[in-house]
Structure 1
Amino acid sequence: MTIPRPTRTGRTRLAALLGASVLLATSTGAPAMASPPLALAQAPAQAVPVAAKKAPPASSPDFGPNVTVFDPSMPVSEIQATVDAVNARQIDNEMGTERQALLFLPGTYGTDAQPLQFKVGYYTEVAGLGASPSDVTINGKIEVYNRCLEDNGTSNCIALNNFWRTLSNLTLQVNGAGQDGCRATANFWAVSQAVSLRRVNVTGGTLSLMDYCTAGPQFASGGYLADSKAGDVVNGSQQQWLTRNAEIGSWSNGVWNAVFSGTEGAPTDEAFPDPPYTTLDETPVSREKPYLFTDSAGTYSVRVPFAQVNSRGISWGEGPTAGRTIPLSEFFVARPGDSVQAINNALARGKHLLLTPGVYDIADTIRVKRADTVVLGLGHATLTAVDGAVPMRVADVPGVVIAGVTIDGGTVNSPVLLQVGTKNGNNGSKKNDPANPTTLSDVYFRIGGPHVGKADVSLEINSDNVLIDHIWVWRADHGNEGSFGWDVSTGRNGVIVNGDDVTATGLFVEHYQEYNVIWNGERGRTVFFQNELPYDPPNQAAWQHDGVLGWAGYKVADDVEQHTLWGGGSYIFTNVDPTIHATRGFEVPDTPGVVLNHVLTVNLGAGTIDHVVNDTGAPVSNANTGIPSYLVRYP
């Protein structure tokens, strides 16, 4: 099977077919097993109550109207009708306000003869409620297909806009019974940014990260797989992908930038960029995302995994994930409409925060001041800034976890959307703990798209020892009419890191008007960076500074002495003015301690990047659209 090399074009990311193609090839290189991961936290791991495989119907907490809890005693036909109705509402609801969580109590759903097969649309979270992924089994399919859009009267089927959905904490026994010949060949998960697969055990079939069954061009662009196990994985047309702390049987194909960190069965990377694999034997710092679960009595709790250093493989393979268990009774369970004052009062009383699905208008600041506080969103809960507010601030304290939350800019400019730590610390002394890093998991930011959005900076990290584990920071290149544009939805910088010893695993930042990322702190580490420069500068004069054309996607400050990046790409598509140049994709100080490994730039059909890093690396332009310019290492 040949698969076209992908590109992303225009406001709606409609891709034009490129002449080059990529041949699927199976890679089976598997590094040797490393020693077990070292838990960073000093406290002993707490035991997780074992969930019964066939739990009795539980009396679920009231999570509001946007959460559906399924029980294995329900008829498959009833479950099928419910999930199909959710998908029908969400499948094309890219810029809508509806949010959904579909939660499965421990047990088995679907049979060999009557499998449970369904698709996941926008702003939908599908999760098992077991203590282990093995406690919930879906016999069937959970899939995302290409979205077929009309372009000049012809079908244009792509996954480039398949954002904002989640699958986690269950076993997927792939069963294509009743599907046509092509559909039955794999479980299709054709997605792009802001989509995570976590704690998923895929058995009995192939996991395909592209949809090769619908009409072309079948492009996909970006995704994230962590703490999961799968057999054969088809990367296909995915331009870039991060697989972290997983187990895979085989991996086929890479387009521009496939990164593996702490993954058993990952392909080797000695031949980079052909194939374009970047492989780290261990993940420098990791912490798995918290998850909601029930015990055999139907009691709900949240498991908060400990952080690890130099970790490899899944966290649940030899028993419960090491961590602490917090009863749901210790959470303030918020719904849209709850005031910021009520949320802050609960946080001040020592409560954690569970955000049920929906859109929250935030006219003040949610203040997370206590160490080890957990803020967990269900169903892509979304905080929208009102009247220029800063939606959330986290104090200079260790162990805070923010997970599963989307933060949107509002129509009035905010200075920042999420601030972690204060610029001056706590009277000059930051209270951070390297063994217990504040962590952001599946946290997404938007400037424009559903509505006009404005913020100077989307994410500012001032604390030391922070872990960024999969974020998408996006200034809109498309959306509802009147919601995007150079002077409409404005964002200067996506991410600014001022703290020291900050690690990012899965850093997706796109379309900001100046530097997309500025890294001022020392000893920063990034495993996987994906960036598109802004599409919409009106002309070169509007997008240049200090004699430099454009702005780099990734900037390491001139005085930084130590910084490392593994696997990074910066792309250009200046469709408003195709004559625009960016001098470079990456800008770093020339010092031995600042090292970039496996980085690239690429032209997506308009505009030019003159160099990859600083003044090194060949240009990309319309003359070589879709063909990356690579640097194996800089310097």
Structure 2
Amino acid sequence: MPTTDPLRHHPAAPPTPRVTAWRRRVAALAGVVALGGLVTSGLVAPAQAAPAQPVAPSRPAAPAAPAGPAPKGPDLGRHVTLITPDQPQAQVQAALDAIAARQVGNQFGPERDAILFAPGTYGSTASPLIFQVGYYTEVAGLGRNPGDVVINGAVNVYNQCEKDAAGNDTNCIALNNFWRSMSNLTINPTGGEGCRANTEFWAVSQASPLRRVDVTGQTSLMDYCTAGPQHASGGFVADARLRAVTNGSQQQWFTRDSTIDSWSNAVWNQTFAGVQGAPAQSFPDPQYTTLATTPVSKEKPYLYLDAKGRYRVFVPAVQRDSAGYTWADGPTPGSSLPISSFYVARPSDSAKKIDAQLRRGKNLLFTPGVYGIDRTLHVRRAGTVVLGLGLATLTAEKGVTPVEVADVAGVDVAGLTIDAGTKNSDALLVLGKGAKQGPRGWTKKDPTTVQDVFFRIGGPHVGKASTSLVVNSDHAVLDNIWAWRADHGEGVGWKVNTAAQGVVVKGDDVTATGLFVEHYQRYNVVWTGERGRTVFFQNELPYDAPNQAAWRHGSTLGWAAYKVGDKVKHHDLWAGGSYIYTNVDPTLHLSHSFEVPENGGVRLRDLVVVSLNGAGTIDHVVNDVGPSVAPNPAGGSSIDYLRCFPVC
């Protein structure tokens, strides 16, 4: 059975510009290390005394909500919960609480859920609808635009807490709150008690996106109502309208193509691209990186109900130099596909059957569940949509690459988790072969896009893969990618969950917006294509290298987090963070976190490096340039910055 330890091992938000609070223990170590208090300048929180954090709801005895009028289209299976306005709210609440009871602590379980709200209004001021979102749970509206589904209440993610000897909540953090999502609806934050009143809480770390949401009141990206230390570490918002945002303990966060009224504080690395109302560029004091526009983006496809109650999938159009949310002046631009153009896959389907549907020219809709993939799924047709519901998970078997996309244009791969299996795979997802097919291949006008796709090497079980994501396609767009070699869970160890590289980009003119890559044993990212662009990069280096001899190449100590090929002439990176924590051997050094050619055409801006809690040293930021961060003799962690390379 996989572990359900709810504690991930990220650092805390810094109480001063250079010293962070103590971090939670590493799973391999016995005992608990004390944590210092959290201090974040500008933190906004209600003045009421903070009540104890509610535990996950108990399983209700009430049956699941009864079905309303069935949409016209295929049955999406028992792991999709359809909510309609005519269903009694008490039964809706019971159904949602039952899912939360199962999933809030279910970090590595096989269960997957999609909660879909048909157009309408749910809850009221007198009787708000408030529920929690746990692991592997997608909450989405089925309207054409976010205003078609309105929730009066809150859809919350809280910290997970341990219990002390007296049964009180302690060590409450959000550092392991991964693998969940919310999209395409409006929330009027209503109800709740004390500290939790009238606020939407989304206290998450990686792989927990907010997309196409309209929150009309306070949003908090941390859970400040629990016993502490209340840390959170990294997230993603796109195509959204938010009002007052409490960032709080969020160490890093990326917001794209949205509108906000206010943002409370910076911590290490807060990045905004095309966000109206964003804080001004000021890195590193405070640590805001702000781009007026996003160079290129394409919003994630989504399921919706048309005016006749039929399922369809909407595919948003490509945007260039964009700012603000796509639905500000009416429906999001793009194209609509009938559900009949999709093969609706179920976990019981064989990879052979699913691939045969792709060969027939079908799009794919993966219903929630875990799929064993023992032969590669080949996406051959231009414009194919491969969309997962409920964080549907593809697990490699027999060492195959689960998904390969041909040299064709306009493919969307979205909403999937892809896991390595016990036999090593060369890669988990490959885009293109680099054949340069001209107008029949990928194009600038119609790029292939990967949105909300998360890779895992270990965690739920032993996994091995040489590389997680390989991009051969030109003009591809990578939007919110988390490639993770597991640092905790099952099947974890230097010689167990082996993975050399996280993301390898060989195509030209590729853009990454929100790139999270962690713990790989060699280069976490290798980029050899020309004119690449990354807006926001977050990295932790491997924790578990046994000694320096095992983690070096030639005279270079360790392997850089982000490597730009020696022959690359032009590359741009905005807002890159790299952290070292080598708990097995705290004496390890990394020569540099970023390794790039020094030719004047490769430009890096707003970089942050951190040595976490007395374990590991980064000697330089880029090549031989920039400060060192080493274990802090006073305790905690050390942090430093490089504004730009080679020059500002």
Aligned residue number for residue 466 of structure 1 = 476
Matched, 1:617 2:626: yes
Give how far 1:348 is off. 1.5
Alignment of 1:509-528 (within 5 A): 509-528=517-536
Q: TM-score normalised to the size of structure 2?
A: 0.90
**Per-residue deviation, residues 98-155 of structure 1 (Å, max 9, x unmatched):** 0000000000000111100000000000000000100000110100000113699982
Give how far 1:628 is off. 1.8
Give the Cα–Cα distance (whole angstroms) in 2 for the partners of residues 383 and 160 of structure 1: 24
Aligned residue number for residue 452 of structure 1 = 462
Matched, 1:70 2:78: no
Give the Cα–Cα distance (whole angstroms) in 2 for the partners of residues 448 and 470 of structure 1: 20
Asked whether the equivalents of residues 430 and 463 of structure 1 are also in contact (C-alpha less than 8 Å), the reply is: no
| CA RMSD across the alignment | 1.9
Aligned residue number for residue 109 of structure 1 = 122
Identity %: 58
Q: 2:503 aligns with which of 495, 504, 517?
A: 495
Structure 2 SS opposite 1:309: strand
Structure 1 SS opposite 2:566: coil
Aligned residue number for residue 134 of structure 1 = 147
Q: TM-score normalised to the size of structure 1?
A: 0.91
Aligned residue number for residue 166 of structure 1 = 181
Matched length: 599
Alignment of 1:34-49 (within 5 A): none
Aligned residue number for residue 5 of structure 2 = none
Matched, 1:143 2:156: yes
Aligned residue number for residue 362 of structure 1 = 373
Give how far 1:9 is off. 4.7
Asked whether the equivalents of residues 6 and 237 of structure 1 are also in contact (C-alpha less than 8 Å), the reply is: no
Structure 2 SS opposite 1:341: helix
Give how far 1:627 is off. 3.5
Alignment of 1:196-211 (within 5 A): 196-203=209-216, 205-211=217-223
Matched, 1:232 2:250: no
Give the Cα–Cα distance (whole angstroms) in 2 for the partners of residues 634 and 201 of structure 1: 37
Matched, 1:318 2:345: no
**Per-residue deviation, residues 31-75 of structure 1 (Å, max 9, x unmatched):** xxxxxxxxxxxxxxxxxxxxxxxx966356311110010100111
Alignment of 1:359-508 (within 5 A): 359-425=370-436, 431-480=441-490, 483-508=491-516
Give the Cα–Cα distance (whole angstroms) in 2 for the partners of residues 411 and 129 of structure 1: 37
Asked whether the equivalents of residues 3 and 236 of structure 1 are also in contact (C-alpha less than 8 Å), the reply is: no
Matched, 1:294 2:305: yes
Asked whether the equivalents of residues 6 and 15 of structure 1 are also in contact (C-alpha less than 8 Å), the reply is: no
Greater shift in the superposed pair: 2-11 or 121-130: 2-11
Aligned residue number for residue 337 of structure 1 = 348
**Per-residue deviation, residues 397-435 of structure 1 (Å, max 9, x unmatched):** 110000001100000000111011115555x99821101
Aligned residue number for residue 52 of structure 1 = none
Point out where structure 2 has 5 or more consecutive residues left out of the alignment. Answer: 1-12, 45-67
Give the Cα–Cα distance (whole angstroms) in 1 for the partners of residues 43 and 524 of structure 2: 34
Aligned residue number for residue 266 of structure 1 = 278
Give how far 1:347 is off. 1.2
Asked whether the equivalents of residues 364 and 390 of structure 1 are also in contact (C-alpha less than 8 Å), the reply is: yes
Give the Cα–Cα distance (whole angstroms) in 2 for the partners of residues 474 and 7 of structure 1: 23
For residues 577 and 466 of structure 1, do their structure 2 counterparts lie closer, same or farther at Cα, with a shift above 3 Å needed? Answer: same
Greater shift in the superposed pair: 618-627 or 541-550: 618-627
Asked whether the equivalents of residues 504 and 527 of structure 2 are also in contact (C-alpha less than 8 Å), the reply is: yes
**Per-residue deviation, residues 451-481 of structure 1 (Å, max 9, x unmatched):** 000000000001101000001000000013x
Structure 2 SS opposite 1:491: coil
**Per-residue deviation, residues 353-402 of structure 1 (Å, max 9, x unmatched):** 00000000000000001100000000000000001011010011110000
Structure 2: which amino acid aligns with 1:201? D
Aligned residue number for residue 607 of structure 1 = 616
For residues 385 and 6 of structure 1, do their structure 2 counterparts lie closer, same or farther at Cα, with a shift above 3 Å needed? Answer: farther
Give how far 1:618 is off. 1.2
Aligned residue number for residue 49 of structure 2 = none
For residues 346 and 556 of structure 1, do their structure 2 counterparts lie closer, same or farther at Cα, with a shift above 3 Å needed? Answer: same
Greater shift in the superposed pair: 150-159 or 347-356: 150-159
Structure 2: which amino acid aligns with 1:289? K
- Structure number with the higher strand fraction is 1
Structure 1: which amino acid aligns with 2:339? L
Point out where structure 1 has 5 or more consecutive residues left out of the alignment. Answer: 27-54
For residues 316 and 372 of structure 1, do their structure 2 counterparts lie closer, same or farther at Cα, with a shift above 3 Å needed? Answer: same
Q: 1:23 aligns with which of 38, 41, 62?
A: 41
Alignment of 1:560-579 (within 5 A): 560-579=568-587
Asked whether the equivalents of residues 18 and 626 of structure 1 are also in contact (C-alpha less than 8 Å), the reply is: no
Q: 2:639 aligns with which of 612, 628, 632?
A: 628
Structure 2 SS opposite 1:602: strand
Asked whether the equivalents of residues 631 and 638 of structure 2 are also in contact (C-alpha less than 8 Å), the reply is: no
Give how far 1:21 is off. 2.5
Structure 2 SS opposite 1:195: coil
Structure 2: which amino acid aligns with 1:217? P
Q: Which runs of 4+ in 1 moved over 6 A?
A: 151-154
Give the Cα–Cα distance (whole angstroms) in 1 for the partners of residues 241 and 521 of structure 2: 38
